[in-house]
């Protein structure tokens, strides 16, 4: 089953179109990366899912059901612009936010205790938020997002404000939540996060979705038959009709790294065969595009209608 399906969602503000017939499908129990430059429309889409605003047209289905008010109880939302009541105590704050999500006071109490223990911050209950550091407050904020055990968790730039240690901690918790059955939507610019965590991605640019699919498949489709080899001795020539040498760098005395683009139809094995005869091969790997490469490439090319059409067909 799909956790979320958006069909032709459109939102128009007086001056501009925030979302232009955007459709996405988010399979259950996956981590879905919602990518796109600033102002592309990601936040608008997220707000529509959270029922903070309504779409002008189109439809959103959550676990097969049309969006309705009590769905907010199964969604956990960590906005990019987030904050807490500064004068409130950590415990009271979590209790309040959990109750707003429909938890009973009693259940909320029990779960807060569990989560505070998980983060080893049991003694924070009576601390005021204004006395916490930014990273500490972010932990509290994260707990408030997942306290009601939402089936769909939406995290907008979740790692901002975390040091690497805590970012790692949060990553672990996110994977744990996924393992326990939650679906997670990530909205982020951090490509390394996407690279390591996301199963599926969608790219939104200028209010339109320009790419969607499982990460592996997307990367696969952007293979350019380019290989990275390390070898001893830099004097070799390859038949120009089959190969193009893109770059060559010297790693150390007599050890070189070369990027080779092979013509269509030439597979890795063939490349190795061709190379073995002419140089001493140290390492060989296919150079897959990084998510950052794809992201930047697509957004840059988005002006070019023809290219975009081509890419959507892929």
Partner 1 sequence: MNKVWLIMQREFLNRVQKKSFLITTILVPLIFPAIIGVLVYIMKKEAESAKAETVQVVDESGKFVFENSKRYTFVPLSMPLEQAKKAYNETKDFALLYIPPFDLSKPEGMVIYTKENPSIEKVGGLESILQDRIRDLKLEEYKIDKETLKGLKVSVNLKQINLSETGEEKSSNSGILYGLGFGLGILIYMFVLVYGIQIMQGVIDEKTSKIVEVIVSSVKPFQLMLGKIIGIASVGLLQFTIWIILITVLSTGVLGYFGLKMPQKQAMEEVTKQMADEDVKEAMSQQNSKIDETLANLSQIPFGKIAFVFVFYFLGGYLLYGALFAAVGSAVESMQESQQFQFPITLPLLIGYLGLFMFILRDPHGPVSFWLSVIPFTSPVAMVGRIAFDVPNWELALSMVLLVGGFLLTTWIAGRIYRVGILMTGTKVSWKVLIKWFLLKG
Residues that bind partner 1 (CB under 8 A): 13-14, 47, 50-54, 56, 69, 72, 75, 77-79, 81-88, 96-97, 99-101, 141, 144
Q: How far is the CB of 98 from partner 1 (least distance, A)?
A: 9
Identify which of residues 14 and 180 has a Cβ nearer to partner 1 in the complex: 14
Find the Cα–Cα–Cα–Cα dihedral 102, 52, 201, 170, rounded to 10°. Answer: -50
Q: Which is nearer to partner 1, 51 or 234 (CB)?
A: 51
Least separation in angstroms between CB 293 and partner 1: 32
- Residues 6+ away with beta carbon under 8 Å from 106: none
Beta pairing class for 243-252 and 226-232: unpaired
- Return the number of the residue (150 or 210) whose C-beta is nearest partner 1: 150
The number of residues in the chain equals 314
Best CA proximity match to 182, nearest among 19, 16, 27, 22: 27
Q: Which residues contact residue 154 at a Cβ distance below 8 angstroms, ignoring those fewer than 6 apart?
A: 46, 49, 50, 75, 76, 77, 78, 184, 185, 187
Burial bucket for residue 225 (CB in 10 Å: 0-12, 13-18, 19+): middle
Q: How far is the CB of 20 from partner 1 (least distance, A)?
A: 17
Task: For partner 1, give the closer residue by CB, 45 or 211.
Answer: 45
CB of 179 to partner 1, least distance (A): 24
Query: Which residue's CB is nearer to partner 1, number 101 or number 209?
Result: 101
Q: Which is nearer to partner 1, 40 or 84 (CB)?
A: 84
Q: What gap in Å lies between CA 14 and CA 281, rounded to an integer?
A: 61
Between residues 68 and 235, which has the closer beta carbon with respect to partner 1?
A: 68
Q: Cβ of residue 227: shortest distance to partner 1, in angstroms?
A: 47
Radius of gyration of the chain from Cα atoms?
A: 24
Compute the least distance from the CB of residue 186 to partner 1, in Å.
17
Q: For the CB of residue 147, give the shortest distance to partner 1 in the complex, in Å.
A: 11
- Environment class of 129 (CB within 10 Å of its CB; exposed 0-12, middle 13-18, buried 19+): buried
| Cβ 202 vs Cβ 35: under 8 Å | yes
Could you give the CA distance from residue 284 to residue 228 in angstroms, rounded to a whole number? Answer: 6
Closest distance to partner 1 from the beta carbon of 229 (Å): 50
Which one, 137 or 177, has the nearer CB to partner 1? Answer: 137
């Amino acid at each position: 089953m799909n956790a979320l399906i958006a069909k032709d969602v459109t939102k128009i503000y007086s001056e501009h179109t925030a979302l232009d017939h955007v459709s996405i499908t988010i399979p259950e129990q996956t981590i879905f990366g919602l990518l796109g430059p600033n102002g592309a429309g990601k936040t608008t889409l997220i707000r529509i899912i959270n029922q903070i605003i309504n779409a002008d047209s189109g439809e959103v289905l959550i676990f097969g059901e049309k969006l309705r008010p009590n769905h907010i109880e199964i969604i956990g939302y960590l906005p990019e612009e987030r904050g807490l009541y500064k004068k409130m105590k950590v415990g009271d704050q979590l209790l309040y936010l959990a109750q707003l999500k429909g938890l009973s006071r009693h259940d909320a109490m029990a779960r807060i205790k569990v989560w505070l223990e998980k983060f080893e911050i049991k003694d924070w209950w009576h601390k005021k938020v204004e006395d916490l550091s930014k990273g500490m407050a972010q932990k509290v904020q994260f707990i408030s997002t997942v306290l009601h055990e939402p089936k769909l968790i939406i995290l907008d730039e979740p790692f901002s404000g975390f040091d690497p240690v805590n970012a790692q901690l949060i990553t672990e918790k996110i994977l744990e939540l996924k393992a326990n059955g939650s679906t997670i939507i990530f909205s982020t610019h951090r490509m390394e996060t996407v690279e390591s965590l996301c199963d599926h991605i969608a790219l939104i640019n200028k209010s339109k979705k320009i790419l969607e699919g499982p990460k592996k498949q997307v990367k696969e489709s952007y293979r350019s038959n380019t290989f990275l080899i390390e070898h001893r001795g830099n004097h070799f020539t390859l038949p120009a009709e089959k190969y193009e040498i893109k770059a060559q760098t010297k790693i150390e005395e007599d050890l070189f790294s070369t990027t080779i683009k092979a013509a269509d139809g030439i597979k890795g094995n063939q490349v190795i065969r061709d190379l073995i005869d002419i140089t001493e091969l140290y390492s060989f790997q296919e150079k897959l595009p990084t998510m950052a490469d794809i992201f930047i490439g697509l957004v840059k090319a988005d002006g070019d209608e023809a290219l975009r059409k081509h890419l959507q067909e892929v």
